[in-house]
Amino acid sequence: MAKLSAFNNVSLDGYFSGKNGEFAWAKSHMDPEFNAFVAGNAQGGGTLIFGRITYQLMASYWPTAQAMKSDPAVADGMNKSPKIVFSRTLNSVEWNNTRLVKADPVSEIRKLKNESSADMVILGSGSIVSQLAQAGLIDEFQVVVNPVILGEGRTMFDGLNHSVGLKMTRNRIFASGNAFLCYEPAA
C-alpha cells in the first residue's frame, strides 16, 4: 500500500499562506544546511500531489531556466517526478509527467493508496490536505515551522471538523531558525 505524506511550510502562528495567498516568507529563512535538506527531499521519489493553485504556482517556476540555475537539484526532482493535480476548473496541464484528475480527491487517493506501492506527497494544497486529513488518508505530516509571524492567513486544515491526534516521529532544527517536525496519526 502506498504511503501518503503532506509537506508544508507554516508560520509560527500556524499559517501556510498569508491572507492574500503569499508564501514568499517561507523562502526568507534559508541556510546551506536547510537548502541541502530541501534538495534531498526533492530527490525522494514518489508522486507529487497538488491542488490547482499550488500546481499553477509550481508549474510556473520549476520547469524554467531560472529554477534550473537557482536550485538545480530541486528543479530536477520536481520536473522528473510524476505529478497529479486535482482541479474541477483546469482543462489541461502542461508540466511534464502531470496527470489532471477532476474526480473527488478522497476517493481517488483512497484508490491510489490501495492500488499502488509508489508513495505520494502533497505539497502546499491546503484544501486537499484538509480533505484527506478529514478522511484519515494522510500517513505522515511533515511541517517546516518558519520563524515568522504572519498575523493572518490560511491554515492547511481549514474545514477540518474533528481533531486528529498525532505523534512525533522526527524533528530537526536548522541554523536559519526553521524547525522540521514530522508526525504520524496516533493510533
**Rounded Cα gap, residues 91 and 114, in angstroms:** 27
Domain 4-185: which topology? Dihydrofolate Reductase, subunit A (3.40.430)
Using CA atoms, how far apart are residues 3 and 86, in angstroms rounded to an integer? 18
Write down the residue that cell numbers 502531470 correspond to. 98
Per-residue pLDDT, 118: 85
Q: From CA 178, how far away is CA 174, in angstroms rounded?
A: 5
pLDDT at 27: 80
pLDDT at 88: 94
Q: What are the residues facing 13 on neighbouring strands?
A: none
Closest by alpha carbon to 119, among 30, 49, 51, 60?
A: 49
Q: Which residues of the chain have pLDDT under 50?
A: none
Strand partners, 43: none
What does the domain layout of the chain look like in residue ranges? 4-185
**What pLDDT was estimated at residue 83?**
96
Contacts of 144 (CB under 8 A, 6+ apart): 7, 8, 9, 10, 26, 178, 179, 180, 181
Q: Note the pLDDT of residue 167.
A: 97
Say what the pTM is: 0.92
Q: Tens digits of per-residue pLDDT, 19-44?
A: 888 888 888 777 888 888 887 776 66
Do the beta carbons of residue 85 and residue 101 sit within 8 Å? Answer: yes
pLDDT value, residue 61 = 94
